[in-house]
Amino acid sequence: MTRMFKRLAAAIAAAVGLPVALAGGIAHADYSTLPPLVCERSISISDDRGYEGDIPTSGGFYFQTLFAFTVTSSGCNRAGTVAYQTQHFTTEPFDYTSTSGTLTFASGDATSKTVYVWVTRDGSPGPNEFFWVKLSAPSADITVNDGWGLGTILNDDDACVAPPDLPPGAEWQCME
């Protein structure tokens, strides 16, 4: 409190008959115990990484590898929506299937949600590649804490290592 304000408080106290010490020590409410004025749902999206996989040598197996990005919530978990959209970083259009949509949260729902992206299997040696799953356009009661999920596509062809996610007994060979 400034000296000038203390003087003013003392003057007012004198005028209305209050003790000066009381007037100069106006108590503030303890705002730390109050809920925040704006209570929102705060969301974040995880990263994911995995081997791209390889083109099956015979029919019967899928030609894509599934990546999963988890969207978690904290805070007051208000109802609302947020959009998601894949975005190329070092990838090219044929490296994964572009995906977009809207996640909808019910009031009080604290469970996580998952965005799936199909990565296209690849038998060619090459560097690891990266793409994003981006969250955008949150509704009024949602705050995006981390809106960028990084997808890392691990190349598995140079070292000719079998991808770890093939079904049991699946045929596999290194594609040169």
- Candidates 42, 46, 70, 155; binder of Ca ion (CB under 5 A) is 155
- Say how far apart CA 71 and CA 41 lie, in whole Å: 12
Which distant-in-sequence residues (6+ apart) come within 8 Å of 155 by Cβ? 52, 122, 125, 126, 127, 128, 129
Greatest distance between any 2 Cα atoms in the chain: 96
Which stretch, 47-55, 86-94, 142-150, 165-173, contacts Ca ion (CB under 5 A)? 47-55
User: Smallest gap, in angstroms, from Cβ of residue 169 to Ca ion?
Assistant: 19
User: Smallest gap, in angstroms, from Cβ of residue 77 to Ca ion?
Assistant: 40
Binding to Ca ion by CB under 5 A, coded x per residue (else -) over 66-105, reads ----------------------------------------
CA angle 72, 78, 83 (to 5 degrees): 55
Residues that bind Ca ion (CB under 5 A): 52, 54, 122, 124, 126, 155-157
